Structures are given as structure tokens and as C-alpha cells.
Chains A and B, each alone.
Chain A
Amino acid sequence: MNVAIVGQGVVGARAAQVLRDIDITCNVVKDADHTGSCDVAILARGGEQHDDAETLIGRGISVVTTADEPDEIEELIELDEDARKEGVALVVGATAVPGLSGLLARHLAAQFDSADEIHVAVHGTGGPACARRHHKTLRGFATGLQDGEWIKRPAGSGRELCWFPEPIGARDCYRADLAEPMLLHRVFPEVQRISARRAATRRDRLTATLPMLFPPHAEGGIGGVRVEVRGVRDGARTVEVLGVAERLATVAGVVSAVFAVSLGQGLIKQDGVIIAGMEALPTSTLVRMVMDSGIKIHAFTGITD
């Protein structure tokens, strides 16, 4: 099995590390034209990924994308037919959010008789492209699903105090222009309420409409992902929460590498668009592979006396 990683940033480097740790040959290249012959390609370059994905699919290569912008995600989903024709898979949004969040949501939903609410929160950023994206998500509008209807609210509104695993702790999270509600609705059509929030400071919200005042850091600090699923189990209303505290570039690298390995080794056999959390995916195995790659997942146990 041979994997090509397009992009030489932190996400690409972490994905390459995960693959090398399990003795899988990978080739990190600058752009999609230099992938050569490979079984799977991971697009880990910040910015537009649609054209690269289209090119690679045309060459009969399965693709794992790390895009997270709603418009781009929709464009990638439109490549479903092309991927099916070529008999290859296209994983859309194999990052922390979306990506790991979808896997955790499916893992939790399996513990319910019926799940009807999914709430995702994310804290922190990966590389510079992710930081620029974070800045952008706090302006414009955020979508969410409420009682089965799409709602649109100003990004940066709807403050909610969300607890992440230590060392992050409690953070104020706000609605943001994230692709997560749209992707989760595709894989959980029965769920009535879906929201996605991201942690932000007052300065983040105040300067969201301005250009970035300072160039972003090479990599953000420890980030966090929090997935809360509510539903009914044994006739009682129940809430389950899973969280991760880790550098988001590491999470994105691990999730993209896990999907690449699963495609290359035939663990995921379906063609066309694949979204983390799909019912047909072997989610338990994928979550285990993510954990085996060093990501610690925590469950919120609640407060006891």
C-alpha cells in the first residue's frame, strides 16, 4: 500500500508520521501533479482542495480531503458521481471537526435507542490555514438544525459555556460558519437538532470582521473537540458526551491517515463520497485505530456527590 500526502504543512507531517509508525509507505509532495502512482492520496494542503480531488479521482486514486469550509465541502460532495464512475472513494472532511466529531457522534449514537440531538464544539486551531479559517468562521452566518428545520444565525452569537477535557476546561463557545451541521445531517437524517460551536475570545469576536491583525502561529496549542449526543435509552432521556484534548493538527493528521489506511487495506469498501459517521462505515474500528494512533478520548462522567 502506497499513500501520497499532498501538502507539507503540520497536518501532512502528522499524517505521514502516523503512516510511517505503522510501516506504510508514504510520499509527501507539494501538489497533486507529483503524487505519482499511489493507492490513496491525502489532501492536506490548506485552501482549495476541489480541483486536486477532481484530478486525482480522474486518475483512479481514492482521495481523503481535509477541507472544512461549507462551500468547499458542498463542491466536494458533488464529485460523488465522478468517484463512483471511477470506482474510487472520496472522504470529505477527515479532520478534527468535521471528521473525528462524526466518528464520535456515531459511536455515541449507537449507545441510544434513538438519538435526536447532536451538539459539537471545537476549541483551537491547527496550522496557519486553520487559524485563518477560524478567523473567518466568526463572521457571516452559522447554520444549525432546530426541530428538523434549518436555522441561520449570526456567527459569533449564541454563547454557551462548554467543558472540554483537561487541560482546556471550560470555554465560551459561539455559533460559527462550520460545515459540521450540514455533514452530520447527511449521516444522521433522523436527528432533529444539530449545532456546531467554536471557542472564541472577546478579541476573536471583535476582530472577526477585520483582516487578521497578526500573521497566525505555525501551529496552535492544545485544542479540543467535544461531541454531545442526547436521546432516549431504556425509556429515559439521556445525554452522553465525549471529548478530546490534543493539538488539532495531530487529530486531523491521525483521522486522515486512519481513513487512508482503511481505504487502502479494504476496510472501507464503498465508492463515492464518504463522510465520517456514516452508518455503513466500521466506526468502532475507525475509533479504535484513532485511539491506537495516540489520541485519547474521554467520556464526561458527570458530577457525583
Chain B
Amino acid sequence: MIKTLRRAIFALSLAGITAAVLRIKGKGGVPPQQGGWREITPPK
């Protein structure tokens, strides 16, 4: 029981550290700033 609990705490800690590293050091980039929809002109 204690062993399982320790493993769970270890796994959660590892996940937390990994997430923190990615959050601080990760480069998510900038979302697209252009594009999307453009109103068309009536066809001739």
C-alpha cells in the first residue's frame, strides 16, 4: 500500500517537474497572426 502510494507520488512529481520545465523553457511559438476569411467581391 505504502509502496504504491510512494510510486504514485513519484510519478506525479516527475510529471509536475516535466510540465514545469516545458512551461518555462518550452518554445510554443506564436499563433498565426494572419489568414482566415476574406470577403469576396461579387463575380462578374
Contact = CB atoms under 8 A, between A and B. Distances in A.
B40 interface: yes
B29 to A, nearest CB: 11
Nearest to A245: B37
Given A303-B32, A305-B32, A242 B40 contact: yes
A244 to B, nearest CB: 10
A298 B40 contact: yes
B42 interface: yes
Contact of B34 (A242, A288, A297, A304): A304
B28 interface: no
Interface string B10-39: 000000000000000000000010111111
B37 A243 contact: yes
Chain A's interface: helix, strand, loop or mixed, by majority? mixed
A218 interface: no
Interface in A256-281: none
A298 B35 contact: no
A299 B38 CA distance: 5
Interface residues of A, number: 20
A300 interface: yes
B44 interface: yes
Interface string A279-298: 00000100110011000111
B27 to A, nearest CB: 16
B35 A301 contact: yes
A300 B37 contact: yes
Interface string A28-52: 0000000000000000000000000
A166 interface: yes
Contacts of B34: 303-305
Contacts of B44: 284, 288
Interface of B: 32, 34-40, 42-44
10 contacts: A287-B42, A292-B42, A298-B37, A298-B40, A299-B37, A299-B38, A300-B36, A301-B36, A303-B36, A304-B35
Given A288-B44, A291-B42, A304-B35, 12 more contacts: A165-B37, A284-B43, A287-B43, A296-B39, A297-B40, A298-B37, A298-B38, A299-B37, A301-B35, A301-B36, A303-B34, A304-B34
Closest 3 CB pairs of A and B: A298-B37, A303-B35, A284-B43
